[in-house]
Structure 1
Amino acid sequence: GLGQIGRAVARRARAFGMQVLYHNRNRQVDAETEFNATYCPDFSELLALSDVVSLHCPLTPATHHLIDRAALSQMKSTAVLINTARGPVVDESALIECLSRGGIFAAGLDVYEHEPKVPTELMALGNVVLAPHLGTATRNARDAMGMRVIANIEAFLSTGSPGDQVTA
């Protein structure tokens, strides 16, 4: 996705000269201009073209196992999969199988399907980097979260509606 987190990743990717492709529920024309990004309405096309697939989406019934055996089989053998979204977005058994046979080059995971449990088969692989759900563990990120909580409480108390609302 190309929401707030996806845009932050796109900004960094562009700084390294990477071409940004994205798939999102809604086309983000402003982001296409800002990042010179290319919208891929077909998720399969995005998977087939990408060298790095970085996931930034909520966990919904539509995104549960979004990356499954079929999706992994559409990726380049040289591709890297990064999941900092939600663990169940990736079918870990399919990922383990794919990484074991060299179906994709590598994976980087900060979230896990059955968190906090991480499969021993996944930990044993040499082509995966595992982090203990630290994606937001910076002081700035935590401070910003706290400030958003305060802003949401203030908005709710004054208007009856929080500023941030989650819809699926």
Structure 2
Amino acid sequence: MDKDELFAASDHLVLTPPYNPGNHHAVGAAELARMKASATLINVARGGIVDDAALADALANGRLAAAGLDVYENEPNLPPALLACRNIVLTPHIASASTATRRAMVALAVDNLVAALGAGPLAGRPPNPINADALLARGA
């Protein structure tokens, strides 16, 4: 189904795409208008994918039943209109905030640093480079 059909048919829509300039405000007033008044929208992806002002307007005016967000367009600042909505759940984006996950993140960062410095079993080949093209350009 295409995007218009998805918005019109969904009772609950959970957004998980990565943010990029091409999907900035991918969910705005037009998309929200296609949704059922009884539908819920959940954004656990990235702020900016949803137009927060359009969402607040749809919630305040009964065009959408409820929403749940743990990401916001201008974090950490929340639009006052969202805070005024009684049919929204707002939480911090802290899914990775467990001890085990944070330790794994540190270990990965260390592995990348050691490899980037030319040491260890992955010398010169960081396992998770942010810009792999730069490594390829210099022949790593």
Equivalent residue letter for 1:104: L
The structure having more radius of gyration, on CA atoms, is 2
Instruction: Give distance in 1, aligned partners of 2:100 and 2:7.
Output: 32
CA–CA separation in structure 2 for the residues paired with 1:139 and 1:51:
35
- Match of 2:61, as an amino acid? R
**In structure 2, what residue type is equivalent to 1:88?**
G
TM-aligned CA deviation for residue 69 of structure 1: 0.6
Q: How does 1:10-159 map to 2 (within 5 A)?
A: 40=1, 42-156=2-116, 157=118, 158=122
Give, as a single letter, the amino acid of the residue that structure 1 aligns with 2:5. E
Q: Distance in 1 between matches of 2:130 and 2:36?
A: 34
Q: In structure 1, how many angstroms separate the alpha carbons of the residues matched to 2:109 and 2:62?
A: 43
1:111 Cα offset (Å): 1.0
TM-score w.r.t. the length of structure 2 is 0.77
Return the offset for 1:163.
2.6
**Percent identity between the two aligned chains:** 43
The CA RMSD measured in Å over matched residues stands at: 2.1
Corresponding pairs, count: 127
Structure 2 unmatched ranges of 5 or more: 132-140
CA distance, structure 1, for counterparts of residue 72 and residue 54 of structure 2: 13
The structural deviation recorded for 1:74 is 1.7
Give the gaps of 5 or more residues in structure 1: 1-39
Which of 1 and 2 has higher RCO (CA within 8 Å, sep 6+)? Answer: 2
Q: TM-score, normalised by structure 1?
A: 0.66
Tell me the SS of whatever aligns to 2:36.
coil
